[in-house]
Amino acid sequence: MLKTDVLVIGAGAVGCAVARELTKYQLKVLVVDKNEDVGGDASKSNSAIIHTGYDASPGTLESELVVAANPMYDKLTEDLDVPFSRIGGILPAFTDEQFEKLPSLKEKAFKNRVYDVEYRTGEQLLEMEPNLNPEVKGGLYIPRESIIDPFLLVVAMAENAQENGASFLMNTRVTSIKTENGKVVGAQTTAGEIEAAYIVNAAGLYCDEIAKMVGKNDYYVNPRKGQFYILDKNTSCKVNHIVLPIPTKLTKGKLMCPTIHGNMLVGPTAENLTDKCDKSTNAEGLKSIQTDVRRLIPDVNLRDTITQYCGLRPNRNPEGLHVDTYEDVGNYVNLSGVRSTGLTASVALGKHVAQTLIGIGMPVAFNLHFIEKRKGIIRFHELDHDAQDALIKGNPLYGNVICRCETVTEGEIIEAIHHPIPARSMDAVKRRVRAGMGRCQGGFCGPRVIEILARELGISTEEVTKNQSGSYMIAGKVR
């Protein structure tokens, strides 16, 4: 039996942020997740935007957390060595009806205490974004809307938490939660029983199923599918900012923006589903993206698409972001309704959950040796020639380029495999160092990455997986 002070269920952005925050106290923290790698479900398939909260519902917990979180990212990303850029967002209006909504949108931003939102004329917006629809009448500029590498953010928070004493147990499903005398005391999992003084449900898409284990399923979660296009870095039509449509009651709409690594991201859809495993893209959804985004950027060249992907956001019914505790289920914190702003809110949620645990009796003794800094994997292509030469002299494997599209070296892949939160699958390597994320989508580098994983993990090439157990890359040898 494993024993811990706090058991965190879910290793997405929120779960990893909670774990990192809890390591600032003298506690044993254990994170379990059903997936083979950190990143959860929604955290690794979103729009990679750090929001300001300008359009959140004023007075809600979501507004409070997102607005508080945004300014935290400058220091956090520097401390954790995560790529981050404040490129700003624009909200253009093309019709009289849209233009008339701008004052209320700005007022909403001010109610959320996002005071740096400003009007821009159509001419000013076209100077900022020459590829914008020339019919633009005006719009809003939101300077602190930002982009980030969401994969590296989650990995970085997990690695920093682990360096400060947290443990991670992957490929592990929680099957039941045990209570005694009106308090949680542990959980049964596919890896055995875990004794825990406190439990935090940060299971995202599956939080309602965990809540059901303690009889607190007074809500349910439907997945909301978001399909995206990713365009080649050399696409003929680009934008410099996050270009956002006027939002509706259902969705923030379909946007176009740069990624932190220079591709263009286009989407997403907002499709309500019942199947939490349906991550397929479809022609209807992708066509709707083309139609809607071309109203913003008429010349967007979707022929430059290198891949499409789908993310599932946990849509809570009744809606709203909740951090709940219960008198009849003590020492348990239930998180639900963490939607598209969850990546942004995660760092503030970590602090909020820690304070909630303290409020229900968690012992408070600060970890005076908390380590704030974390060093990421070397990014070879970002170094100058002298630094590259010095690196290769120290380790020739950094001179062996495996992924030509993204200039990823064998040294970087090996570093990812042996980092504190290790990459043990093709997707895990891809998320950390981008091998396979270029134009050929792993067509050339894939076989070499399989060989490197097999060699470094001491397994056969037939045992290398794409992601989950059983998703083998190779069926067998032909010679």
- Write the CATH number for 271: 3.30.9.10
**Band (473; pLDDT cuts 50, 70, 90):** very high
Q: Give a yes or no: residue 68 inside a domain.
A: no
**Band (146; pLDDT cuts 50, 70, 90):** very high
Looking at the fold, whether 121 and 250 belong to one and the same domain comes out as yes
Residue count of the chain? 479
The question of whether 381 is a catalytic residue gets the answer: no
Looking at the fold, whether 214 and 235 belong to one and the same domain comes out as no
Query: What's the CATH number where 184 sits?
Result: 3.50.50.60
**Band (328; pLDDT cuts 50, 70, 90):** very high
Catalytic residue among 51, 369, 385, 419: 51
Q: Which domain holds residue 239?
A: 85-148+224-312
Q: Reply yes or no on whether the pLDDT at 248 is more than 90.
A: no
pLDDT the model gives residue 253? 86
Looking at the fold, whether 160 and 231 belong to one and the same domain comes out as no
CA distance 79 to 64: 24
**Band (251; pLDDT cuts 50, 70, 90):** low
Q: Give a yes or no: residue 76 inside a domain.
A: no
Q: Is the Cβ–Cβ distance between 434 and 406 less than 8 Å?
A: yes
Mean pLDDT in residue range 423-431: 97
Looking at the fold, whether 414 and 394 belong to one and the same domain comes out as yes
Q: Give the chain's domain count.
A: 3
Looking at the fold, whether 434 and 290 belong to one and the same domain comes out as no
Tens of pLDDT, residues 345-391? 999 999 999 999 999 999 999 999 999 999 999 999 999 999 999 99
CA distance 133 to 294: 8
Looking at the fold, whether 306 and 342 belong to one and the same domain comes out as no
pLDDT the model gives residue 141? 98
CA distance 152 to 79: 13
In this prediction, what percent of the chain has a pLDDT beyond 70? 99
Tens of pLDDT, residues 187-236? 999 999 999 999 999 999 999 999 999 999 999 999 999 999 999 999 99
Q: Reply yes or no on whether the pLDDT at 479 is more than 80.
A: no
Whether omega before 318 lies within 30 degrees of 0, making that bond cis, reads: yes
Looking at the fold, whether 249 and 297 belong to one and the same domain comes out as yes
Looking at the fold, whether 212 and 331 belong to one and the same domain comes out as yes
Tens of pLDDT, residues 74-122? 999 999 999 999 999 999 999 999 999 999 999 999 999 999 999 999 9
pLDDT the model gives residue 340? 86
Looking at the fold, whether 337 and 452 belong to one and the same domain comes out as no
Mean pLDDT in residue range 308-332: 96
Q: Give a yes or no: residue 351 inside a domain.
A: yes
Looking at the fold, whether 155 and 41 belong to one and the same domain comes out as yes
pLDDT the model gives residue 288? 96
**Band (314; pLDDT cuts 50, 70, 90):** very high
Q: Give a yes or no: residue 53 inside a domain.
A: no
Tens of pLDDT, residues 25-71? 999 999 999 999 999 888 988 899 999 999 999 999 999 999 999 99
Q: Reply yes or no on whether the pLDDT at 270 is more than 70.
A: yes
Q: Give a yes or no: residue 180 inside a domain.
A: yes
In this prediction, what percent of the chain has a pLDDT beyond 90? 95
**Among candidate residues 70, 337, 67, 319, the one with its CA nearest the CA of residue 201:** 337
Looking at the fold, whether 134 and 254 belong to one and the same domain comes out as yes
pLDDT the model gives residue 122? 98
Sign of the four-CA dihedral 377, 380, 383, 389: positive
Q: Reply yes or no on whether the pLDDT at 478 is more than 90.
A: no
Looking at the fold, whether 171 and 133 belong to one and the same domain comes out as no
Q: Give a yes or no: residue 272 inside a domain.
A: yes
Q: Report the relative pairing of strands 192-201 and 183-189 from DSSP bridges.
A: antiparallel
Q: Give a yes or no: residue 286 inside a domain.
A: yes
Whether omega before 258 lies within 30 degrees of 0, making that bond cis, reads: no
CA distances from residue 124 to 27, 87, 353 in whole angstroms, order as listed = 53, 16, 42
CA distance 6 to 18: 10
**Band (409; pLDDT cuts 50, 70, 90):** very high
Q: Give a yes or no: residue 364 inside a domain.
A: no
Query: What's the CATH number where 428 sits?
Result: 1.10.10
